[in-house]
């Protein structure tokens, strides 16, 4: 199924449940999240943190960092308790809230970050192992470990989770050994860890180093598709993991600061091994921390990839990555793909250059999740009814905190991450993906529209006037010139509605909506941004009047009606009556008569026949100016033409017209023609015979309007495209120009 312009028939696991959900809160959320939080930073860098900023500074850093993570956890809990979170974790949450483009723009970089994180953790494990056993080769160890954890994730999610239980046990043993340890011999006991001669890093630099330690809450969310009850397990497991992690990180600084001097804390990454009851338990903790993080990443990354593939976010050639094993529900294709990608990264070795960017992708995900939850709550949509309610302010605060920390950690990496997410978003937007689920964007636009409509003043304002157009086009393919001209006038700054009145009074509502959809698709394919309205009436002229009188909302109603002329003599009467009704309703009228042989194939010249600045004359000048700004008409030569009876009158007319055009600040040319003998209509045909568009004013409708219009039609025969303009709106159009 092509991705461009096609409707996704289903949302992978949202509509089908083929994976056996086996994991509970402890194994599926709490354990992987906590193990990622209690990672290598705790073992290898936490002493450095305490040595640089002291005990109080460390407690402040831990509290600030955990606060941001906690706010994000609140947002996750709010989204998770509103809907059943299927496979894909954070991607699923974001795409179902902010739309598939935003979800994909975050989900694709998040998958890459998760996959490369496997390599980062494996390399960290290999380096620490080689430090103890120098005879080993780092690359070889890394490849073996990558294959081992990949095979574990490939055949049994439960086995991988059970492996994490042993790792958790190793970490607990290492922490107990640390608590039961003793101070370093000959090391001064000082709670703030101050040292007079040791250069210290600044508070925010240390904060940036520590913060990634508390960003492990996605490890459990990524396994959402394997949970028995994601709405229950995700909030509960995430909060427990954050709470336990905070408790550990608040106790450890007290132990470190009371047993080791600041210089030693800064210079010895494995100082915990020296002050523990059983020093080698710290090595088990380090190895367990790196392996658990690697296992968590290799479990989560394929599920994000699977969700992206089944939602057709990935190109068609990658849709096979959405397949899963029918018995176990494991995304084996995605797991193999992730393992290969991680293996390549391990072989290449040094990933220090891209490591900060990976952290940015994780923080970007957290920030967008906060935005999603806050937006849903702020809009107050009836469909958003989470059992765990979070005020939108806390979600907004969490999003601001994520962005601030991103720039704090690495401004360049932040900009690169934002650029990649933006490029991915634009790519997905251009592909025109369609989904079967709604998202918050419609609610946002509705809220903004409601607020704007209530604030639009009903009093006409020349300064802010726009030609909001209603085009009575009939079948768009037959009268495309009307839509083409309306698009040129609207210029993406005015509202444009393409309307059709069907000649019948008995048509099903579903049929009308289907026709509207067809017309909307037709316009979108041709780059026309317009609203579409299809209605029906036994008499299409009466139907057109009813449509114009009732269409719109509040002060935002079409003020200018564009329609084609009628060549059927029997239609002249009801057609002119319809024009009179439009005028009485104070709608400007633009009638376009197009030569079917020529049309708008050439867009080189526009003649504006002018009779003065007020009403029709001013409106014609405005419309000509707007048309001239359209790319297709930009090179057109626009000439304001005026007929006078004598040379004396022509002299004054030229001076006045030149001054008016100069005051209008528009680059129109002008031509005053002395017409002493021939009729105006003969002069018109002589002067505008070669014009691509001729603009003429239309007299105010009265009881003789039918005769006037028939005479006008006859006298203007032979011209190419002609545009008759009738200004009816109660507004001083000349003030718009001067």
Residues 259-282 pLDDT 10s? 998 888 888 888 888 898 988 898
Q: Which residue has the tokens 């997410």?
A: 421
Q: Distance between CA atoms of 484 and 528, rounded to whole angstroms?
A: 9
Torsion of CA 577, 580, 581, 582, to 10 degrees: 120
pLDDT reported for residue 654: 87
**What does 12-31 look like in DSSP terms, one character per residue?**
GGGT---S---B-HIIIIIH
Residues 391-443 pLDDT 10s? 889 989 999 988 888 888 888 888 888 888 888 888 887 776 666 555 556 66
Report yes or no: 55 and 253 within 8 Å, Cβ to Cβ: yes
Could you tell me the sign of the dihedral formed by the alpha carbons of 172, 176, 181, 184, in that order?
A: positive
Residues 285-309 pLDDT 10s? 888 888 888 888 888 888 888 888 8
Nearest to 109 by CA among 434, 419, 345, 429: 419
pLDDT reported for residue 11: 39
φ/ψ of 600, rounded to 5, equals -105, 40
pLDDT reported for residue 651: 85
Q: Is 472 left (phi over 0), alpha (psi -120 to 50) or beta?
A: beta
**What does 674-708 look like in DSSP terms, one character per residue?**
E-SSS-HHHHHHHHHTT-SEEEEE-PPP-TTHHHH
pLDDT class of 650 with cuts at 50, 70, 90: confident
pLDDT reported for residue 295: 84
pLDDT class of 247 with cuts at 50, 70, 90: very high
The encoded tokens of residue 458 equal 């009903």
Least confident of 94-98, 325-329, 399-403, 689-693: 325-329
Q: Domains of the chain (ranges plus CATH)? A: 12-440 (1.20.1740.10), 463-737 (3.40.50.12370)
pLDDT class of 13 with cuts at 50, 70, 90: very low
pLDDT reported for residue 727: 92
The encoded tokens of residue 164 equal 């994490």
Does the pLDDT of residue 194 top 70, yes or no? no
pLDDT class of 4 with cuts at 50, 70, 90: very low
Residues 126-145 pLDDT 10s? 877 887 888 988 889 989 99
Question: Is the pTM higher than 0.85?
Answer: no
Least confident of 87-96, 269-278, 362-371, 671-680: 87-96
Percentages helix, strand, coil for the chain (3-state, rounded to 5) are: 60, 10, 30
Residues 399-408 pLDDT 10s? 998 888 888 8
Nearest to 587 by CA among 579, 598, 595: 579
Residues 606-620 pLDDT 10s? 999 988 887 888 899
| Buried-exposed string 421-447: b where 16+ CB fall within 10 A, e elsewhere | beebbeebeebebebebebbeebbeeb
Q: Distance between CA atoms of 685 and 720, rounded to whole angstroms?
A: 10
Residues 695-723 pLDDT 10s? 999 999 988 899 999 999 888 888 888 99
Residue 258: count other Cβ atoms within 10 Å of its Cβ. 14
Does the pLDDT of residue 249 top 90, yes or no? yes
pLDDT class of 3 with cuts at 50, 70, 90: very low
Report yes or no: 608 and 639 within 8 Å, Cβ to Cβ: yes
């Amino acid at each position: 199924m092509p991705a461009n312009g096609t409707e996704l028939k289903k949302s992978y696991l949202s509509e089908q449940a083929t994976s056996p959900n086996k994991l509970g809160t402890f194994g599926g959320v709490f354990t992987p999240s906590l193990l990622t939080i209690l990672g290598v930073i705790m073992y290898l860098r936490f002493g450095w943190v305490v040595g640089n900023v002291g005990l109080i500074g460390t407690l402040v850093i831990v509290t600030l960092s955990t606060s941001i993570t906690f706010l994000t956890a609140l947002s996750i809990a709010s989204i998770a308790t509103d809907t059943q979170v299927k496979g894909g974790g954070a991607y699923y949450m974001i795409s179902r809230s902010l739309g598939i483009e935003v979800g994909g723009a975050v989900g694709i970089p998040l998958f890459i970050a998760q996959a490369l994180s496997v390599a980062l953790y494996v390399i960290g494990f290999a380096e620490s192992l080689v430090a103890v056993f120098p005879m080993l080769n780092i690359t070889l160890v890394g490849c073996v470990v990558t294959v081992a954890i990949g095979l574990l994730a490939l055949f049994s999610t439960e086995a991988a989770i059970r492996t994490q239980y042993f790792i958790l046990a190793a970490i607990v043993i290492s922490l107990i050994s640390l608590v039961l340890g003793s101070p370093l011999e000959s090391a001064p006991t000082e709670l703030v860890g101050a040292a007079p001669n040791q250069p210290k890093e600044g508070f925010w630099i240390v904060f940036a180093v520590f913060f990634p330690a508390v960003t492990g809450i996605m490890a459990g969310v990524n396994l959402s598709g394997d949970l028995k009850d994601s709405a229950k397990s995700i909030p509960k497991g995430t909060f427990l993991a954050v709470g336990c992690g905070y408790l550990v990180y608040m106790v450890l600084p007290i132990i470190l600061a009371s047993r080791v001097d600041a210089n030693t804390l800064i210079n010895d990454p494995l100082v915990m091994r020296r002050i523990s009851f059983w020093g080698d338990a710290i090595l088990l903790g380090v190895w367990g921390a790196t392996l658990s993080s690697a296992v968590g990443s290799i479990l989560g990354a394929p599920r994000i990839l699977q969700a992206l593939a089944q939602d057709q976010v990935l190109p068609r050639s990658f849709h096979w990555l959405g397949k899963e094993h029918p018995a176990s529900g494991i995304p084996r294709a995605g797991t193999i793909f992730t393992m290969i990608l991680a293996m390549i990264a391990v072989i290449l070795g040094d990933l220090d250059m891209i490591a900060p960017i990976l952290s940015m992708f994780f923080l970007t995900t957290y920030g967008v999740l906060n935005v999603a939850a806050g937006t849903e709550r702020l809009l107050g949509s009836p469909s958003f009814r989470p059992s765990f309610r979070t005020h939108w302010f806390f979600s907004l605060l969490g999003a601001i905190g994520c962005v601030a920390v991103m720039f704090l950690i690495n401004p360049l990496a932040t900009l690169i991450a934002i650029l990649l997410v933006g490029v991915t978003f634009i790519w997905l937007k251009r592909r025109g993906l369609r989904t079967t689920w709604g998202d918050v964007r419609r609610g946002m636009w509705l809220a903004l529209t409601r607020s704007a409509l209530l604030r639009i003043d009903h009093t006409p304002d020349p300064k802010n006037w726009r030609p909001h157009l209603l085009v009575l086009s009939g079948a768009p393919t037959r009268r495309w010139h009307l839509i083409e001209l309306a698009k040129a006038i609207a210029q993406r700054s005015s509202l444009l509605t393409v309307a059709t009145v069907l000649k019948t009074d008995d048509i099903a509502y579903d049929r009308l909506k289907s026709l509207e959809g067809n017309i909307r698709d037709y316009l979108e394919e041709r780059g026309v941004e317009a609203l579409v309205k299809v209605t029906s009436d036994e008499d299409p002229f009466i139907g057109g009047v009813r449509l114009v009188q009732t269409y719109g909302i509040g002060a935002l109603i079409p003020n200018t009606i564009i329609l084609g002329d009628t060549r059927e003599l029997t239609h002249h009467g009801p057609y002119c009556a319809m024009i009179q009704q439009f005028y009485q309703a104070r709608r400007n009228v633009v009638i376009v008569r197009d030569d079917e042989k020529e049309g708008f194939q050439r867009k080189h010249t526009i003649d504006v026949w002018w009779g003065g600045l007020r009403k029709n004359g001013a409106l014609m000048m405005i419309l000509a100016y707007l048309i001239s700004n359209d790319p297709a008409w930009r090179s057109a030569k626009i000439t304001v033409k005026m007929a006078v009876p004598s040379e004396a009158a022509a002299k004054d007319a030229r001076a006045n017209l030149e001054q008016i055009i100069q005051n209008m600040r528009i680059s129109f040319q002008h031509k005053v023609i002395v017409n002493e003998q021939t009729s105006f209509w003969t002069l018109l045909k002589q002067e505008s015979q070669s014009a691509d568009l001729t603009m003429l004013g239309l007299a105010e409708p009265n009881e003789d309007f039918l005769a006037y219009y028939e005479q006008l039609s006859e006298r203007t025969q032979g011209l190419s495209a002609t545009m008759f303009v009738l200004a009816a709106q109660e507004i001083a159009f000349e003030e718009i120009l001067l």
